[in-house]
Structure 1
Amino acid sequence: MGVQRIDVTATTTAPPGAVYALLRDGASWPGWSPIGSFELESPGQDGGESLGAVRVFRTGRVASRERLVELVPDRRLSYVLLSGLAIEDYRADIDLAEGPDGTTIRWRSSFRAKVPGFGGLYRRTLTKFIQQCAGGLAEHAAVAAG
């Protein structure tokens, strides 16, 4: 089964620090994304939502368990999916780059479908979902940053 890749971007007038703060705060995600709820299942090595933390996001009947695997303040947040979807080897890297028009949010993911032949369907569905997340994040960060 081949690796599926997703790469979406959004731009906000908010500075990278404001965008990063929202990404790190799982409780904020239901406010700017299609996600319904958030729960911190287990804290990271430095407590709270630090490296290694397991966060659970619920959307409808789906509960996605994710572990934070890379945190670069104001630059990058990366996570891997532990359970919740019929995919494996899922990793997302959310990179923030400051430019003349504000901050560019680049949300890249890769994964393999557990069921042969379903990779394209999962990629299309997740691309739409992630685009909604990136767009909502950009809008919310701009309003929050004033």
Structure 2
Amino acid sequence: MPGRRYSFEVNRVSTAPPETLFRLETEGPLWSTWGRPLIVQARWARRGDDNPSGVGAVREVGLWPVLLRERTVEYELDRRHVYTFAGSGLVRDYRAEVFFTPNAAGGTDLRWTGSFTEFVPGTGPLALAALRTAIRFLSAQLVKAADTGR
């Protein structure tokens, strides 16, 4: 029996331009500079096909021995990044999309969405709470890093 499908959306506003946030979010090893204390280690498991951070790239983030592998499946420079979990058994069919939209104030409207199917029936609400909380934290850290230039 297939599990239920869940989704979430997190929105933030940054004073930094889209290209700054895009670079920080797509460049795998940079996650350990702005994602702490949640992300302590970040590295490339595989570089992208045409661009090091682009389609086919796999970043590993977290803290050993718990490292999530995230595979880039769509990459629109300075505009949109889409990734899935590569090999994770926590949820099925996870897909995250991060949108970087210039705003009238000269900054960026950031929208980070995610969706997945629960791996074990009944575990979806807990997985949803964990993923939404993690993305809320990471998006706030990303904006803070972009806005302060660190």
- Fold match by TM threshold 0.5: yes
Q: What pairs up with 1:1-146 in 2 under 5 angstroms?
A: 1-33=3-35, 34-46=38-50, 48-59=52-63, 61-101=65-105, 102-144=107-149
Structure 1 gap segments, 5+ residues each:
none
- Deviation of 1:119 (Å): 0.2
Question: Do the aligned residues in 2 keep the contact of 1:76 with 1:95 (CA within 8 Å)?
Answer: yes
- Deviation of 1:100 (Å): 2.4
Q: TM-score, normalised by structure 2?
A: 0.90
Task: Percent identity, please.
Answer: 31
SS in 2 for 1:83: coil
Amino acid aligned to 1:39:
R
Question: Do the aligned residues in 1 keep the contact of 2:54 with 2:74 (CA within 8 Å)?
Answer: no
Amino acid aligned to 1:131:
R
- Deviation of 1:59 (Å): 3.4
Question: Do the aligned residues in 1 keep the contact of 2:4 with 2:121 (CA within 8 Å)?
Answer: no
Question: Do the aligned residues in 2 keep the contact of 1:63 with 1:84 (CA within 8 Å)?
Answer: no
Q: CA, structure 1 residues 36+84, in 2 after alignment: closer, same or farther (shift >3 Å)?
A: farther
CA–CA separation in structure 2 for the residues paired with 1:16 and 1:108: 17
Q: TM-score, normalised by structure 1?
A: 0.92
Tell me whether 96-105 or 58-67 shows the greater mean CA deviation. 58-67
CA–CA separation in structure 1 for the residues paired with 2:60 and 2:76: 21
SS in 1 for 2:86: strand
Amino acid aligned to 1:30:
S
SS in 2 for 1:96: strand
Deviations 1:84-128 (A, max 9, x none): 341010000000111124211100000011111010001011111
Structure 2 gap segments, 5+ residues each:
none
Question: Do the aligned residues in 1 keep the contact of 2:98 with 2:113 (CA within 8 Å)?
Answer: yes
CA–CA separation in structure 2 for the residues paired with 1:62 and 1:6: 23
SS in 1 for 2:7: strand
